[in-house]
Amino acid sequence: AIVFGLVRLLGYPLRVMLLSGILLSQIGEFSFILAGLGLTLGILPSEGLSLVLAGALISIALNPLVFASIAPVSKWLLERSATARRFNSRVDPYAELPMSTERKYLEGQVVLVGFGRVGRRIADALEERGIPYVVAEQNREIVESLRKKDIPAVSGDASDPVVLVQAHIAQAAMLVVATPDSINVRQMVDTARTLNPEIEIVLRTHNEDESVLLRKENLGTVFYGEEELARGMTNHVMQRFAPKAAA
């Protein structure tokens, strides 16, 4: 409850609140330290240590299942609970673009999801070519930093339709998902195509099986990291050993 409240105060949506609370609920190493100290001081009986160990094993085993259920549970709560929708309301000033945002960033722009190592390089290339773009990023500090550089950015999880709406996805030319988010990428694509059927979509994945699946589903142009790296290295080798043109 404490974590839930703190995350809410920071302006994050319901899904992030649930995620933070669940991830921190798992029994960690510090619990074993406290249990060992209690056993040494005679405060905790040996049976108590066994219970702590059993609880840790159960929480670790359940964690992947609970983690996978966050998105559907969040969606279910938002559909059925006014309180959940109130918790999910956007109170973060960085959750929408400023009124002073230039028109070129609101029509025909690239919506770039994620500003990590890959997203930053894509943004640099767009900047060099004068192509307008808007960043959608979960890390509020990154969004704040981008705003200080006069780069249009919105804070939030792009799988939440509100975030893409605030990035003006309905008028965008392209959606580029630079985060390897195989869980929520379909929701992003669904939102983008619902609001903008003609939009071009570019996706990133770390997993070969996932890249095959995304291509079969025709969700967009898919780039798989190792595949692109191998292609680049192969091209370099082929150029090195290419037959020299006759003089």
At CB < 8 A and 24+ separation, what contacts does 61-66 make? Answer: 63/22, 63/26, 66/22
For 156-183, what is the mean pLDDT? 91
Ordered domains of the chain (ranges, CATH): 2-87 (no CATH), 93-233 (3.40.50.720)
- Using pLDDT thresholds of 50, 70 and 90, give the confidence band for residue 232: very high
Q: How much is the pTM? A: 0.66
Tens-place pLDDT, residues 27-80: 666 677 777 888 788 887 877 777 877 877 787 777 777 767 776 777 777 777
Confidence (pLDDT) at 7: 64
How far is 71 from 104, CA to CA, in rounded Å? 33
- The pair phi, psi for residue 199, each rounded to 5°, is -65, 145
Say whether 144 sits in a helix, a strand or coil: helix
Closest CA to 182 of 139, 156, 215, 154: 215
How far is 139 from 158, CA to CA, in rounded Å? 12
Tens-place pLDDT, residues 117-140: 999 999 999 999 999 999 999 998
How far is 74 from 2, CA to CA, in rounded Å? 19
Confidence (pLDDT) at 69: 73
